[in-house]
Amino acid sequence: MTTYVLIPGAGAGPWSWHLLADELRRRGRQVVAVDLPCEDDEAGLAEYADTVVRAVGDRRELVLVAHSFGGFTAPLVCDRLPVRLLVMLQALVPAPGETPGEWWADTGHAAARQAEDERGDWDPDDTTALFLHDTPPEVAAELLRRGREQSATPFQKPWPLAAWPAVPTRVLLARDDRFLPVDFMRRVVRERLGITPDEMPGDHCPMLGHPVELADRLEAYESAL
């Protein structure tokens, strides 16, 4: 049986996946929503990968779904477990030897954000407007209430892989994200993976705003293997 392994972004926990997880379970899938040690200043990317491996246990038929900063962890797991498919959901794509802290300048994120802010009519200092404008308000409020501290430790060491893992990879972008604008993400994905990404509606957290459509997309990817 397919097991979806859901890896959250920075400062997020398993709750960020709960709507998608419920939808996948209704379809008969196993789901592991990983609880990363994001508050732990002793934990870096290696410890994040260890946490995912422990959470998976002896499950197989694995589909990894990495959101946002989870994109730095998921490929490390692919090097250690028999992953059938890696789905990068609005996820940061690392380069060999790059620290997560360097990713923003290396990719030109600041200029992309500035251009996006200038095109819009929102307050870029409003967390909800920036990250969660397409999420139901009550869900967005609960996510922010459950927000966790994110240690800087995993941002400081270079990403250790010499190349992208030899695992089938799909990239799915949220076309309405204001934090990681879609034009910017298309370029990063093309330059770093040579992949033309797929796109769906949604802000930075499409698993909360569009869980049914996201489940449909994941199931289509899985069935095409």
Fold type of domain 3-223? Rossmann fold (3.40.50)
CA–CA dist 131, 109 (Å, integer) = 15
Report the pLDDT value the prediction gives residue 65, as an integer from 0 to 100. 98
Closest to 127 measured CA to CA, from 203, 211, 201: 203
CA–CA dist 88, 71 (Å, integer) = 6
Question: Mind listing the pLDDT tens digit for each residue in 88-141?
Answer: 999 999 999 999 999 999 999 999 999 999 988 889 899 999 999 999 999 999
Query: Do the beta carbons of residue 35 and residue 64 sit within 8 Å?
Result: no
Report the pLDDT value the prediction gives residue 215, as an integer from 0 to 100. 98
Question: Mind listing the pLDDT tens digit for each residue in 205-222?
Answer: 999 999 999 999 999 999
pLDDT band at 69 (very low <50, low <70, confident <90, very high): very high
Average pLDDT over residues 61-68: 98
Report the pLDDT value the prediction gives residue 76, as an integer from 0 to 100. 98
Residue 53 has pLDDT above 90, yes or no: yes
Helix axes 182-193, 109-119, angle to 10 degrees: 150
Question: Mind listing the pLDDT tens digit for each residue in 186-197?
Answer: 999 999 999 999
Closest to 92 measured CA to CA, from 69, 109, 113: 69
Report the pLDDT value the prediction gives residue 120, as an integer from 0 to 100. 86
- Per the prediction, the chain carries an average pLDDT of 97
Report the pLDDT value the prediction gives residue 24, as an integer from 0 to 100. 98
Question: Which helix (H) or strand (E) segment is 124 a member of?
Answer: none
Report the pLDDT value the prediction gives residue 179, as an integer from 0 to 100. 97
Report the pLDDT value the prediction gives residue 184, as an integer from 0 to 100. 98
Count Cα atoms within 13 angstroms, Cβ side, for 39: 5
> What is the domain partition of the chain in residue ranges?
3-223
Instruction: Indicate the residue type of 91.
Output: A
Instruction: Indicate the residue type of 152.
Output: A
Residue 224 has pLDDT above 90, yes or no: yes
Report the pLDDT value the prediction gives residue 122, as an integer from 0 to 100. 87
